[in-house]
């Protein structure tokens, strides 16, 4: 029972410290000491298959595939083939 009380005491103290720190930060921002927050928008690069393909994969005899992707040599499932018409 004493171990459980110690664990609960540690959790309580951790919660009180986090509450105190958030109160300090909140009061600092209310008093105007927080400064102005600015954000920068950074665009993500667009990856294509040819740009993301590494030639180092071919050096190890993988035939251009890492072994973790979908094999594009397999045909589409029957329902996804363009000439497929469901039975009526």
pLDDT digits (tens, 9 = 90+) for 32-82: 765 677 888 888 887 766 544 455 444 444 455 555 666 667 777 888 888
- Asked whether residue 75 is domain-assigned, the answer is no
- Asked whether residue 58 is domain-assigned, the answer is no
Cβ density class 19-44: b for 16+ within 10 Å, e for less:
eeeeeeeeeeeeeeeeeeeeeeeeee
* Res 52: pLDDT: 47
Diameter of the chain by CA atoms? 73
- Asked whether residue 85 is domain-assigned, the answer is no
* Interatomic CA distance for residues 33 and 25, integer angstroms: 10
Residues spanned by the domain of 1:
1-29
Side-chain half-sphere of 67: how many Cα atoms within 13 Å?
A: 5
């Amino acid at each position: 029972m004493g171990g459980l009380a110690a664990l609960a005491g540690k959790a309580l103290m951790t919660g009180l410290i986090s509450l105190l720190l958030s109160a300090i930060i909140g009061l600092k921002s209310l008093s105007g000491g927080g400064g102005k927050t600015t954000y920068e928008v950074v665009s993500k690069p667009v990856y294509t298959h040819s740009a993301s393909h590494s030639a180092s994969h071919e050096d190890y005899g993988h035939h251009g595939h890492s072994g973790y992707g979908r094999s594009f040599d397999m045909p589409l499932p029957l329902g996804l083939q363009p000439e497929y018409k469901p039975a009526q």
